[in-house]
Structure 1
Amino acid sequence: MLSIVVEEPNSMAVCERPMPEPAAGEVRVRVRYAGICGSDLHIFRGHNPFVAYPRVIGHEFVGTIDAVGAGVDASRIGQRVVADPVISCGQCHACRIGRQNVCSRLQVIGVHRDGGFSEYACVPAGNAYVIPDGMPEASASVIEPFAVAANVTHRTGVLAQDVALIYGAGPVGLNLMQVLKRVHGIRAFITDHLDERLALARQCGAGEDEVINTAREPLEQALAARGVEGGPTLIFDAVCHPAILEEAVSIAAPAGRIGLLGFSPTPSAIPQQELTRKELTLYASRLNCAMFPTVIDWIAKGLVNPGKIVTHHVDFRDVAGAFALAEGNPGKCCKVLLDFGHGG
């Protein structure tokens, strides 16, 4: 079989590898589509501290089960599935309190172990979720980043009276817009400096007055002009730059909540006084915590459509071109899918 292997930072190739055999409790997935995530770009560039090289990357993928390991019902062969990349121990403190996404022995498919940028990939059977009949596989491949958005809203909670602000109209920010508008039905603003991304935000449910191009409008003035008095009550940082947290604390309404998704090691200069004066709450959110069933249910009910952020399909053999597109053309593309061409 062919796999996309990052041998070391800035060195990636499509390589022939032995066909994997599912271990006990695992299934083997014949991959149809795999999405390129910003974290895949970070691994390629050597900026992910958790990965060991060489590595078959990819943690957003969908396909069909074609083999099962010992202890897995053979009736699962033929199921169309999407893989949750979070593998936990089930025994540590985090796992025991239901926070397995921050397991002390966490493994992430495509980071700590080989992932889905391959014609075939093995995953724990419990991580392979069946997608409903009729769900396009291209849309299903984006369930993982949608689960990331679902996780942070689960962490912060969403109140009927909330006015939300999303920093960044990238894949997670756009998915957050769908969750806030179409699942929770609240007013939600989204910022970016690219009009093309804000056009996608409109397709994801943002009203015409809810998109803010911060290259043209200072954020605080833009919110005030739109009638947001006292600041947003719910803020999500989907850009993940340290300065954004500083601004979010400054503009948040009293008793506001802020959801954080970033991994930057650079400190943010946040005055404790401002946090305490407003009694703000910060919610960090990593990956997803068993959110796949929730997202699949939303899709099945027609509440959300993850496929709205998919802009390009590229044959997996041209992964270099796909990465160049994803990395260098944010105005022209959002989510790039690698196509493994098995049909379906």
Structure 2
Amino acid sequence: MREIWIDEPGRIRVAGAEPRTPGPGGALVRVAYAGICGSDREVLAGSRPAAFVRYPVVPGHEWSGTVEAVGDGTDPGLVGKPVVGENIRACGRCPACRRGDGNLCSADYDETGFTRPGAWADQLIVPAGALHVLPADSDLRAAAVLEPAACVASACGKLSPAPGERAAVVGAGTLGLLATQLLAAHHPAELVVIDPRADRAELARRCGATAVHADAPATGGFDLVVEAAGVTGTARTAVRLVRRGGRIALIGIPGADDDPPTPAELVLGEITVHTVFGAPTRAWAAAVRAFAAGALDPAVLITHEVGLADVTEAFRLLADPDSGAVKILLRP
């Protein structure tokens, strides 16, 4: 067995590991693929807020795999099933958990890949109740991108897109492109993606965009806008794009130097703003359903695969603007 450790900011290594055995209620998953996202880069750089990471850690919160074993009190029928799984370890008892918002659990933050060993390894142990079973013929390579898709599904659930509406997506990274796919499934009259990277235009169109702009249009009037870039000024761009009385979902997390919209802008426009941090179970279920039905195809976002031993090459590709990297997967 092998696993990747980030011992502290800037220090990453591949190490051997002993085979694991799941405890009561747990499941042992043979990891098929694991993704790398911006928050993993923050863990390596040391820029992730201290409350949301615990060093040393085995990262990996985007993953897919096959159940190899289960612990006592767990359905043995799970063995051999292709799965993805939720990562936030919610307490299950607080008011947020009781209403189905485990991603907002009031207990101390606890998440696979950040405070618990994640999927940058040959094997992963998670609570069996966190698993979502996929159809038997599922593409596990594509399924490894269902974690960010669940976050996007949460945003779409809050926005309630309707056929014939005008929609815009700010940012053509993983979240923005997945949002484009899910919004396209609701048959908007117009679906515009805004991103300055010329190399993302064709990919955005493949995901369902009717138009792609390097800069935000001078006039907006969109019924709904998904902000998925998380860079300085993009939340304000979303406000400028949406019509009065429209809806916005903020998925990207900007830096401390951001210039956010003012309360006056929101009130005078009577703009409804939704935010997303993680995804509750209902959003995971929606993403898995969309994937199983063919309305969501994360595979088109995957540009590179590397083995566990080549994890530093993956980070180099992500840092290189000329690499063309969108989603990179580790392949144990």
What is aligned with 2:214?
213
1:23 aligns with 2:23: yes
- After superposition, residues 288-303 of structure 1 pair within 5 angstroms as 288-290=279-281, 291-303=283-295
Amino acid at match of 2:61: H
Distance 2:31 2:110 in 1: 20
1:161 is displaced (CA, Å) by 4.0
- The equivalent position to 1:99 in structure 2, one of 98, 101, 119, is 101
What is aligned with 1:237?
227
Measured against aligned partners, the alpha-carbon deviations of 1:265-288 in whole angstroms (never above 9, x if no partner) come to 525343322211111111111111
1:252 is displaced (CA, Å) by 2.1
Identity of aligned residues (%): 34
What is aligned with 1:317?
309
1:272 aligns with 2:274: no
1:322 is displaced (CA, Å) by 1.0
Distance 2:251 2:295 in 1: 23
1:168 aligns with 2:165: no
- After superposition, residues 44-193 of structure 1 pair within 5 angstroms as 44-49=44-49, 50-105=52-107, 106-193=109-196
- Runs in 1 of length 4+ with deviation above 6 angstroms? none
1:331 is displaced (CA, Å) by 5.5
Distance 2:54 2:62 in 1: 19
Distance 2:207 2:323 in 1: 17
Amino acid at match of 2:269: K
1:112 is displaced (CA, Å) by 1.8
Give the TM-score normalised by the residue count of structure 2: 0.93
1:170 is displaced (CA, Å) by 0.2
Amino acid at match of 2:238: A
1:6 is displaced (CA, Å) by 0.3
What is aligned with 1:227?
none
Does the 8 A contact of 1:31 with 1:121 survive in 2? yes
Distance change >3 Å, CA 269–CA 151, structure 1 → 2: closer
1:199 aligns with 2:202: yes
Gaps of 5+ in 2: none
Distance 1:330 1:87 in 2: 37
Does the 8 A contact of 2:170 with 2:238 survive in 1? no
Distance 2:189 2:232 in 1: 27
- After superposition, residues 33-52 of structure 1 pair within 5 angstroms as 33-49=33-49, 50-52=52-54
Does the 8 A contact of 2:167 with 2:188 survive in 1? no
Amino acid at match of 1:283: H
Distance change >3 Å, CA 82–CA 238, structure 1 → 2: same
What is aligned with 1:281?
272
SS of 1:275's equivalent in the other structure is helix
SS of 1:297's equivalent in the other structure is helix
Does the 8 A contact of 1:196 with 1:331 survive in 2? no
Worse overlay, 99-108 or 30-39:
99-108
1:141 is displaced (CA, Å) by 0.8
Distance 2:76 2:322 in 1: 43
Worse overlay, 92-101 or 242-251:
242-251
Amino acid at match of 2:228: A
Amino acid at match of 1:100: G
Distance 1:34 1:26 in 2: 20
1:202 is displaced (CA, Å) by 1.1
Distance 1:237 1:211 in 2: 15
Distance change >3 Å, CA 24–CA 142, structure 1 → 2: same
Give the TM-score normalised by the residue count of structure 1: 0.90
Between the two proteins, the alignment pairs up a number of residues equal to: 327
